[in-house]
């Protein structure tokens, strides 16, 4: 009788160390799995980076709160900071546009970079045109057309929307130094 009862008891060293070994083996396998995941994730991100650069909140930027407060016939420069996601790195860039209206209803906006080599240009009050000091480029305020100097194309005009008296611009950058307007 006693032999039957002994066969039903599982083999054991009697002090529980077998169970502990098995638990430690499983724990170490789990740890190895987590480590492999942590190492391979950045590697996979480097091999397959996100395809598009995204601007947080889209490209639309508010450049004026109230159209009634804007000067008529005199352009104003508006600077703003944008957050840019490039792969997994977030960076901030300072951009700017020139905003112009002749009637307070319809607006023109130009990218703040000169189309030659990207310098910032300014409004020359005496000549009433835009002037780029880097290589003496000149642009017409009403059309963005090149009046003088080396810029290969007119200023890059941007899409404008007026929403509830606020002015928004669809900000984009373009390739510099070429006659064609190609989005950067």
Give the nearest distance from C-beta 102 to ligand FES in angstroms: 25
For residue 78, list its beta bridge partners.
97
Q: Which is nearer to ligand FES, 101 or 137 (CB)?
A: 137
Q: Which is nearer to ligand FES, 104 or 118 (CB)?
A: 118
Give the nearest distance from C-beta 62 to ligand FES in angstroms: 27
Write the secondary structure of 6-45 as one string of H (helix), E (strand) and C (coil).
HHCCCCCCCCCHHHHHHHHHHHHHHHHHHHHHHHHHHHHH
Binding region for ligand FES (CB under 6 A): 114, 116-117, 119, 132, 134-135, 137, 149-151
Q: Residue 160, SS3?
A: strand
Q: Which is nearer to ligand FES, 101 or 151 (CB)?
A: 151
User: What are the residues whose beta carbons fall under 8 Å from the beta carbon of 64, sequence distance 6 or more?
Assistant: 70, 78, 99, 166, 167
Give the nearest distance from C-beta 132 to ligand FES in angstroms: 3
């Amino acid at each position: 009788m006693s032999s039957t009862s002994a066969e039903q008891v599982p083999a054991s060293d009697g002090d529980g160390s077998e169970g502990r070994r098995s638990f430690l083996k499983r724990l170490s396998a789990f740890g190895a799995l987590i480590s492999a995941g942590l190492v391979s994730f950045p590697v996979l991100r480097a091999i397959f980076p996100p395809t598009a650069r995204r601007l947080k909140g889209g490209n639309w930027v508010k450049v004026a709160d109230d159209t009634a407060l804007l000067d008529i016939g005199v352009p104003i420069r508006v600077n703003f900071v944008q957050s840019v996601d490039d792969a997994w790195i977030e960076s901030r860039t300072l951009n700017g546009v020139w905003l112009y209206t002749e009637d307070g209803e319809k607006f023109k906006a130009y990218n703040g970079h000169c189309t030659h080599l990207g310098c910032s240009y300014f409004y020359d009050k005496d000549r009433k045109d835009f002037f780029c000091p880097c290589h003496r480029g000149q642009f017409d305020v009403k059309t963005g057309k090149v009046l003088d100097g080396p810029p290969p194309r007119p200023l890059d005009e941007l899409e404008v929307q007026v929403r509830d008296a606020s002015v928004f611009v669809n900000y984009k950058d373009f390739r510099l130094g070429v006659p064609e307007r190609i989005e950067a």
